[in-house]
């Protein structure tokens, strides 16, 4: 069923972008965490532990193991992950189309 995609919606297009740029799909929780990570990297470069839920802390640990996050204070990510994350965010939040909702 097709319906108009809303900003930040978890669509097949988002999943396809993630698979193309990361080599694997992502969860909806990872998609929701990416804007916060982008904000952190562009601003204070540290996580506010009061704002990071336990499930998001698991995402950080998983991304560290994958080499996406190099360190968490100050927060550093690989250039490849930064580029991939921005492309995923572009697909989910900017390039709104008639994609099929997952």
Phi, then psi, of 45 in degrees rounded to 5: 60, 35
pLDDT of residue 97: 64
pLDDT of 62 above 70: yes
- C-alpha span between 99 and 4 (Å, rounded): 7
Contacts 24+ apart (CB under 8 A), 12-16: 12/99, 12/100, 12/102, 13/91, 13/95, 13/97, 13/99, 14/88, 14/91, 14/92, 14/99, 14/102, 15/102
- Residue 7: pLDDT band (50, 70, 90) is confident
Interval 55-80 mean pLDDT: 93
- Residue 4: pLDDT band (50, 70, 90) is low
The fraction of the chain above a pLDDT of 70, given in percent, is 89
pLDDT of residue 100: 53
Q: What are the residue boundaries of the structural domains of the chain, listed by start?
A: 12-94
pLDDT of residue 72: 74
* CB burial of residue 75 (10 Å; 0-12, 13-18, 19+): middle
**pLDDT tens digits, residue range 21-50?**
999 999 999 999 999 999 999 999 999 889
pLDDT of 18 above 80: yes
The residues pairing with 11 across neighbouring beta strands, listed in sequence order, are 101
């Amino acid at each position: 069923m097709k319906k108009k995609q809303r900003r930040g919606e978890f669509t097949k297009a988002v999943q396809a972008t993630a698979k193309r740029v990361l080599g694997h799909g992502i969860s909806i929780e990872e998609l929701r965490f990416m804007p916060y990570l982008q904000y952190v990297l562009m601003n204070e470069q540290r996580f506010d532990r009061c704002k990071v839920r336990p499930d998001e802390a698991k995402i950080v640990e998983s991304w560290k193991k994958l080499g996406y996050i190099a360190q968490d204070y100050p927060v550093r990510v690989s250039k490849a992950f930064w580029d991939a994350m921005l492309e995923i965010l572009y697909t989910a939040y900017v390039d709104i189309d008639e994609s099929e909702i997952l």
